[in-house]
């Protein structure tokens, strides 16, 4: 997204259909398969749980990539910020900033997009695996939505689907000072201070908090900024969920000197994947979209690649990383989101990179 700043809430929830405030609770993770070309084969497998992920398996960042979703629209015309996959129910969840002119239930007026940016207000879209809009809820006081995760392992339908996102937006910047966990509740408005949001502060005093999950290995990845240092920390998910923060690893975020915006992250086994880059004004222009693979055991960058995936897209702004595990004999993929289209008419595409 164009306005991400690296630095550091406000009040309650309301139903879009009625004033009742509802939501749910659990944990958060990942999933996808979709409607173009090779993605149809992915969509055909409905057998269930993700295949086990060996800690040493990693993705090929230099691969040309397979287009899984092509130029689909979210509920609003703003860019997709991040996305995550619910492989159990075959849904995608995607975050976007609320645009100007929207007045939510309980609000006294409509706000400008810049106000929403600093307040940390987001629209959470629920999509089919081909990118079709199925539903939504709104989040207030959370953050920019740089990364997210979904956990549907304890759910029945959309009831019990739990999301992990950035939380407690600093009103001076919109950046997150915590991680929030909450249940998906369609057609509602949820504030980060609501009691249905479980708030975690694993690095007190930090900002720019982001989260990703590896449900297969029951691990949580935290990205944070503290004392000017940008770091990735790895935790046992179940221990973290109890409020005990015992990092298994803590490594530096690489290539900060390049000045590229941080646009997403994913965790798979022992490897952290980082997405950096910005959009372009026209198709003829070049723009840098950079992928990193970092070994959490050593902190070393084991692969770095300036990808040309989706090069034909207009704007081509990188927006989000997530792992599609697949089922049965399917191989996992690292999926990258790209925004395209003109301002006021943004679309999103998703491309998958294979394992080595």
Cα–Cα distance for residue pair 267/296, rounded to 1 Å: 10
Pairwise CA distance, residues 356 & 279, whole Å:
28
Within a domain: 2: no
Judge whether 21 lies within some domain: yes
In angstroms, the CA 335 to CA 340 distance is 16
Instruction: Check whether 136 has a pLDDT greater than 50.
Output: yes
What is the domain range of residue 279? 14-354
Place of tokens 């993700």: 50
- Picking from 36-50, 84-98, 113-127, which range would have the lowest pLDDT averaged per residue? 36-50
Q: What pLDDT was estimated at residue 14?
A: 39
Cα–Cα dist 128/151, whole Å? 16
| Average pLDDT over all residues of the chain | 86
11: left (phi over 0), alpha (psi -120 to 50) or beta: beta
For residue 9, being part of any structural domain is answered with no
Predicted pLDDT at 326: 83
Asked if residue 101 is part of any domain, the answer here is yes
Tokens (6 digits) for 151: 């956990």
Domain membership flag for residue 4: no
pLDDT above 80 for 306: yes
DSSP 40-63: HHHHH----SPPP--TT--B-TTS
Supply 350's token pair. 């998703």
The pLDDT value recorded for residue 94 is 98
3: in domain: no
Per the DSSP assignment, residues forming a β-bridge with 235 are 220
Instruction: Give which of 49, 95, 50 is closest to 75, Cα–Cα.
Output: 95
Domain count of the fold of the chain: 1
The full DSSP string for 133-152 is EEEEEEEES------EEEE-
Over 50: is that where the pLDDT of 310 sits?
yes
Is 1 a domain residue? no
Per-residue model confidence (pLDDT) at position 156: 54
Residue 169 tokens, joined = 């937006």
Q: How far is residue 52's CA from residue 224's CA, in Å, rounded to a whole number?
A: 28
Q: Is residue 100 within 8 Å of 112, Cβ to Cβ?
A: yes
CATH code (residue 275)? 2.115.10
| 102 secondary structure, DSSP code | B
Instruction: Determine the Cα–Cα distance for residues 159 and 15; give it in Å rounded to an integer.
Output: 16
Grade residue 40 by pLDDT with cuts at 50, 70 and 90. Answer: very low
Per the domain annotation, does 6 fall within a domain? no
Tokens of 259: 């000045």
- C-alpha 128/C-alpha 214 separation (Å) is 21
Q: From CA 224, how far away is CA 18, in angstroms rounded? A: 37
Q: Is the dihedral of CA 213, 214, 215, 220 positive or negative?
A: negative
């Amino acid at each position: 997204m164009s306005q991400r700043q690296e630095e550091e809430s406000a009040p309650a929830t309301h139903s879009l259909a009625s004033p009742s405030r509802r939501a749910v609770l659990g944990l958060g993770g990942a999933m996808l398969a979709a409607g173009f070309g090779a993605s149809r084969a992915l969509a055909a497998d409905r057998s269930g749980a993700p295949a086990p992920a060996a800690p040493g398996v990693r993705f090929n960042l230099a691969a040309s990539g397979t287009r899984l979703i092509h130029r689909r629209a979210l509920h609003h015309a703003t860019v997709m910020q991040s996305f995550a996959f619910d492989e159990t129910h075959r849904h995608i969840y995607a975050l976007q900033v609320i645009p100007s002119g929207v007045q939510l239930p309980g609000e006294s007026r409509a706000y400008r997009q810049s106000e929403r940016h600093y307040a940390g207000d987001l629209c959470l879209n629920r999509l089919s695996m081909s990118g079709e809009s199925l539903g939504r809820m709104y989040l207030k006081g959370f953050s920019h939505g740089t990364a997210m995760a979904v956990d549907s392992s304890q759910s029945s339908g959309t009831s019990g689907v739990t999301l992990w996102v950035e939380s407690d937006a600093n009103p001076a910047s919109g950046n997150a000072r915590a991680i929030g966990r909450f249940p998906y509740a369609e057609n509602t408005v949820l504030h980060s201070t609501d009691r249905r949001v479980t708030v975690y502060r694993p690095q007190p005093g930090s900002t720019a908090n982001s989260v990703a999950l590896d449900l297969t290995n029951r691990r949580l990845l935290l990205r944070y900024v503290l004392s000017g240092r940008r770091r990735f920390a790895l935790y046992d998910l179940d221990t973290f969920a109890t409020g005990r923060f015992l990092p298994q690893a803590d490594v530096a975020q690489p290539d900060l000197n390049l000045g590229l915006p941080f646009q997403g992250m994913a965790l798979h086994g022992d490897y952290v994947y980082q997405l950096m880059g910005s959009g372009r004004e026209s198709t003829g222009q070049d723009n840098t979209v950079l992928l990193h693979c970092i070994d959490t055991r050593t902190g070393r960058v084991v692969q770095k690649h300036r990808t040309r995936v989706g090069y034909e897209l207009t704007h081509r702004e990188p927006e989000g990383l997530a792992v599609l595990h697949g089922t049965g004999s399917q191989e996992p993929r690292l999926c990258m989101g790209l925004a395209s289209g003109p301002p006021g008419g943004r679309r999103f595409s998703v491309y998958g990179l294979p394992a080595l």
